[in-house]
Structure 1
Amino acid sequence: MDRVNDLSSKKAAVIFTKSSCYMCHSIKQLFYELGASPAVYELDNDSSYGKEMERALKGNFGCNPSVPAVFIGGKFVGSSKDVISLHVDGSLKQMLMDAKAIWL
């Protein structure tokens, strides 16, 4: 839990992913298309803390599935469904701007 909180607060936009997850890839692409450069942590490639962070995302943040898990401005935003909903209603871009993850 502490590692997830620490990593998610160091950058304006953070995405916890797995390399084999197609929705993770889609969410990363969405952020790139909006002009953001999120910090991306692939849990399956982190042999030291990956499993521990995945458990924290499931248990402490209620992520099911555990990835993608998106943080903006150090705050947990949600999973792919939540991010897509925010994008559709137009608030994702504003959240990224407010967190200084993108500039216009």
Structure 2
Amino acid sequence: MQAVAAAAGMMRRGSLTIDPAGEEEAPAERVGRLVRESPVVVFARRGCYMAHVMRRLLAAVGAHATVIELEGGAAEEEEAALGGGAALPALFVGGDPVGGLEGLMGLHLSGRLVPRLREVGALCT
């Protein structure tokens, strides 16, 4: 499942709700909810080449990430809500922060990416 959302608008694709109808969510609550709703989530700025590489690597191993593309001021709010000094793009697998492209590549090169994706139900095999 892949959802792409502009944080400024309200969108719903599949079971992922970007902005619940009529509800105002704090950025930290929204990030937490989005991470819980999907086994693999990437938060990125619109047009980020590193997020594109992350998405391609995940697809190559058989996982389809939910990608949340952020624009403008919403990107700064969401980035701050990620906490821990996290920067965009930011990958979460099974609700756990992996980091950015370097974190994903580290998991992949160490041979721990595919088992982790299987563990969280992001791979069929």
Give the RMSD, CA atoms, in angstroms: 1.6
Contact 1:43 1:54 in 2 (8 A): no
Task: Kindly indicate which of the two structures has a greater share of residues assigned to helix.
Answer: 1
Q: Which runs of 5+ in 1 are unaligned?
A: none
After TM superposition, which residue ranges in structure 1, 4 or more long, deviate above 3 angstroms?
none
Distance apart, 1:91 and its partner CA: 0.2
**TM-score normalised by structure 2 residue count:** 0.72
For 1:67 and 1:78, the matched residues in 2 are separated by 9
SS of corresponding position for 1:77: strand
Residue 80 of structure 2 corresponds to 55
Structure 1 or 2, whichever has the larger Rg, is 2
**TM-score normalised by structure 1 residue count:** 0.85
Distance apart, 1:20 and its partner CA: 2.3
Give the share of equivalent positions with the same residue, in percent.
34
For 1:100 and 1:30, the matched residues in 2 are separated by 17
Aligned length: 98
Which residue among 16, 32, 40 is the counterpart of 1:13?
Answer: 40
Larger RCO of the pair (alpha carbons < 8 Å, separation 6+): 1
For 1:4 and 1:21, the matched residues in 2 are separated by 19
Residue 98 of structure 2 corresponds to 77
Residue 87 of structure 1 corresponds to 108
